[in-house]
Structure 1
Amino acid sequence: MTRRRFLAAAAASVGLGSARAQEPFLARPVTLWLPWPAGGGTDLSMRVLAEAASHHLGTRVIVENRPGAGGTLAMPVLQQAAPDGHTIAQMPQTVFRAPHTQKLLWDPIRDTTPIIQLSGTTFGMVVATDSPWRSVEEVFAAVKARPGQVSIASNGVGTTPHVVLEELMLQRGLSYIHVPYKGAAEQALAVAAGQVMAAVGSTAFGPFVDNGKLRLLATFGEQRSRRWPQVPTLKELGYGIAASSPYGLAGPRGLSPQLVTTLHDGFRAAMLEPAFAAELARSDQELAYLGPADYAQACREAFAYEKRVVERLGLARQGG
């Protein structure tokens, strides 16, 4: 190779390397894993968010569903994914509880990089409209009168509504039949059809309440729901419990600060769009933003809090 050709080839190589260095890191679509069924309230709101984020990130955000196991099945995906910004997942409260109740190969603190907190889920207890029960106390009275015979559905073993129900039953020394489902839509249909007698879960079953197929007996938050201001909270009814389930997005362990910033900024802009807020409202949710550092701290606090809860309820796993 002549000196001139060598220099030309070297210059071309430098130019190619520079062009590659300037390429956006999100040259491929981003996959957002959801641990809930397609068509549910969280799925619908996350798809609206993903579409908006696609415009702000300059690449497509694809939603994939892995329902089951109380909302924890996206965690193994994060654990195995490369920290290149192309794989992220929703982090529900159950991922901070599950490691304390069963032996798992993943850890929600060790194996993730928190990106942004988005919102929080509102929970409640429902019965069919033709049910004779018109209050939470009447449900407990029926459980007391028929030990181990009253069936109550939840949105999964170890989910926040299930843990709340277990605590309420434990306080009263009551036994019931727990029927876990993968999502609120399945629960709502089961209660409305008489397959189960009551249900606790997210108020994504709101349309069934609004169309008169289900009766909402109580919500689990600190304050009454804006959507159903006439419905009392468990706390004001004297049960001493208020529960919500904040959630956000996280990437794999080792995600660089630059990638975190890019993803955070894209989803932060998306969550502020009116379409996302409107979709959240349909599921009785509100924005609950936290940035990467604050969200990481909230995750650590949630992990410690859930450990105390499962130990108090006697749900902690045994052994190492």
Structure 2
Amino acid sequence: MTTNTVRRHLLALAAASLAAAAGAPARAQDFPNKPITLIVPFPAGGSTDRHMRTLADLAGKQLGQSIIVENKPGAGGTLGPGTMARTARPDGYTITQFPMSMLRMAHMQKTAWHPINDFTYIIGVSGYTFGFTVRSDSPYKTFNDYIAAARKSPGTVDYGSTGAGSSPHLLMEELAENAKVRLNHVPFKGNADLQQALLGGHVSAQSDASGWDKYVDGGQMRLLMTFGEKRTQRWPQVPTAKELGYGVVSTSPYGLVGPKGMDPAVVKKLHDAFKKAMEDPRHAEVLAQLNQDAWYRSGADYAQWAREAYAKDRALIERLGLAAK
């Protein structure tokens, strides 16, 4: 190979490198140029689905592309995000709502994903109002009535939740431990299935986020207790688990994540669009309907919170005897 040929070859390599470097920001600059898929790991019709559909519509307007909601329920809210982590490209076109059960399931069983290392944290969004409801014709007029029945017949008094390892499940397991009772847990795929099971008399109670709101307000269900730090504005007559002496408080914050390795410029575009969506009056209206508060966190702050929550929840799960063997 002559000196001129070597020189030409090196110049070609350098030009290719420069073109690649120039192309990366250009790709981020063009993002998005097609619809984005937002995975909701719970069935349609529940509180998470209602929230995410509104947020997706508002953020899509900011981005100039539609954001299509894909419901992928199962495994206590971990099936959808776990599948995304294993199969989706980190190009920003597939993202997911990230429930707190993702930070717990990895302590409870072997998973094909790691909740911290296999995701890119985009933005923190909100937290739930959890409550405990029964049918309006239930013999349990108060939550203490329910606990008294469980003490009388250990392991036979049941409740449903949105899945093993979900926040509604672990809240009740922690409460049962504090109350020194044994309850019969019945897991469901998501809010919609759980609501119908309760209304149909297949379970006697449910622990869930506020997807039950319309049934409580409509008189089909009775809300016995909520799990916040203080009573809700919407149902101020309903006591909290804390004031009843059961020592459990949770809102189970959630946000949006993508696969690991996303371009920071794409992450910023998504973050900024969803942050503007969160500031829209329509978003505030939906949160008010669900009795939820905004929980904005930047991607970096959300990732830091997740690392701390992941470590903290290990101790809880081990204390409850739910850790993987």
User: 1:290 and 1:19, CA in 2 relative to 1: closer, same or farther beyond 3 A?
Assistant: closer
Matched, 1:296 2:269: no
**Residue in 2 that maps onto 1:72:** 78
* Most deviating of 74-83 and 48-57: 74-83
- The correspondence for 1:232, drawn from 230, 233, 239, is 239
Matched residue of 1:260: which SS? helix
User: 1:109 and 1:145, CA in 2 relative to 1: closer, same or farther beyond 3 A?
Assistant: same
Contact 1:79 1:253 in 2 (8 A): no
- The correspondence for 1:39, drawn from 30, 42, 45, is 45
User: 1:255 and 1:134, CA in 2 relative to 1: closer, same or farther beyond 3 A?
Assistant: same
User: 1:30 and 1:148, CA in 2 relative to 1: closer, same or farther beyond 3 A?
Assistant: same
**Residue in 2 that maps onto 1:285:** 292
Shift of the alpha carbon at 1:92?
A: 0.5
Contact 2:121 2:257 in 1 (8 A): yes
* Most deviating of 275-284 and 81-90: 275-284
| Superposed counterparts of 1:78-89, under 5 Å | 78-89=85-96
| Superposed counterparts of 1:28-177, under 5 Å | 28-74=34-80, 75-177=82-184
The alignment of Structure 1 onto Structure 2 pairs a total of residues equal to 303
What is the RMSD of the two structures over their aligned residues, measured on CA atoms?
1.9
The residue type paired with residue 171 of structure 2 is: V
User: 1:217 and 1:18, CA in 2 relative to 1: closer, same or farther beyond 3 A?
Assistant: closer
Give me the whole-angstrom Cα distance separating, in 2, the residues matched to 1:166 and 1:22.
45
* Most deviating of 252-261 and 95-104: 252-261
Give me the whole-angstrom Cα distance separating, in 2, the residues matched to 1:19 and 1:76.
28
Structure 2 length-normalised TM: 0.89
User: 1:196 and 1:18, CA in 2 relative to 1: closer, same or farther beyond 3 A?
Assistant: closer
* Structure 2 gaps, min length 5: 1-18
Q: 1:101-143, CA deviations, whole angstroms, 9 ceiling, x for partnerless residues?
A: 0000101100001000010011011111111212211111101
Shift of the alpha carbon at 1:21?
A: 5.7
- The correspondence for 1:253, drawn from 260, 273, 293, is 260
Give me the whole-angstrom Cα distance separating, in 2, the residues matched to 1:312 and 1:48.
38
Structure 1 length-normalised TM: 0.90
Percentage identity across aligned positions? 47
* Structure 1 gaps, min length 5: 1-12
Matched residue of 2:243: which SS? helix
The residue type paired with residue 112 of structure 1 is: F
**Residue in 2 that maps onto 1:220:** 227
Give me the whole-angstrom Cα distance separating, in 2, the residues matched to 1:175 and 1:295.
35
After superposing on structure 2, the runs of 4+ consecutive aligned residues of structure 1 that deviate more than 6 Å are 17-20
- The correspondence for 2:198, drawn from 169, 185, 191, is 191
Shift of the alpha carbon at 1:193?
A: 2.5
